[in-house]
Amino acid sequence: MEPAIVTFTDPPSEKFGRLMSIPDDMILKYLELAAFAEPNEIQKAKEEQKEAAQWSRWQALLDAHLNPEPQVALGQRLAACRCVTAMQDISDGVATDLAHICEESGTGSILHAERLPFLPVLDDAVRFVGKEKMDLLLKGGEDYQLLFTVDPHRERELKERLPDELYRRLVPVGVITEGRCVLLEHQDGSRSDITFQGLSLIHISEPTRPY
């Protein structure tokens, strides 16, 4: 096979940063292909570069997962106002962590699917990666956001006790009910059981000590 002839030119300065932002392993692949490659291999590498560039559009999603901001200030305020009846950070997904709250409280709950908050760019990202948005919202972990319950009669008090910038970030997503299940209510009114359907962790008990 004859080596492909590749001519290198200096990239425009405004594009240099974009070129260097692609993953290192892809840069190495380009160098390898440029030295000895079929034209169709070079075209394939170009397509892979275009695909990799897509990820920069979803940097907010990557940052939220890889560099989450613990809601310490909000948690301290909620604890101080004494309006909250239960609270937990979301580390194993809403479906599982809400189930923990319900299990400890001896209750059930209903989540409203259309009220679950998400970044607008998520719609585009899930199409690209071929995932279901609702699965990620319910089952994805390491969010480090706070999930808590408040007596409906004390919601106004909660609003008065929290600074506006914190209160505006709160999103009511469901209600506590009788029963033992966490139910997801869809827009058509149907419901499905999502109890403990988030991340599953393996728990290893301490070995029994011989007497």
Residue 58 pLDDT: 79
Q: Considering all CA atoms of the chain, what is the largest pairwise distance in Å, rounded to the nearest integer?
A: 79
What is the tens place of the pLDDT at every residue in 33-89? 444 445 566 567 667 666 666 677 778 888 888 888 889 999 999 999 889 999 999
Indicate the Cα dihedral angle 49, 63, 111, 74, nearest 10°: -170
Q: What is the mean pLDDT of residues 109-138?
A: 90
Q: What is the pLDDT of residue 144?
A: 85
85: Cβ contacts below 8 Å, ≥ 6 apart: 148, 149, 150, 151
Locate all alpha helices (DSSP H) within 55-192, ordered by sequence: 59-66, 72-81, 94-105, 122-129, 133-139, 155-161, 164-167
Average pLDDT over every residue of 130-151: 89
Structure tokens at 48: 């892979």
Mean pLDDT, all residues of the chain: 78
At 176 the pLDDT is 95
Query: Model confidence at 9, in pLDDT bands (50, 70, 90)?
Result: very low
Q: Is 97 helix (H, G, I), strand (E, B) or coil?
A: helix
What pTM value is reported for the model?
A: 0.69
Phi, psi of 130 (to 5 degrees): 70, 40
Q: What is the pLDDT of residues 103-116, one digit of tens each?
A: 999 999 999 999 99
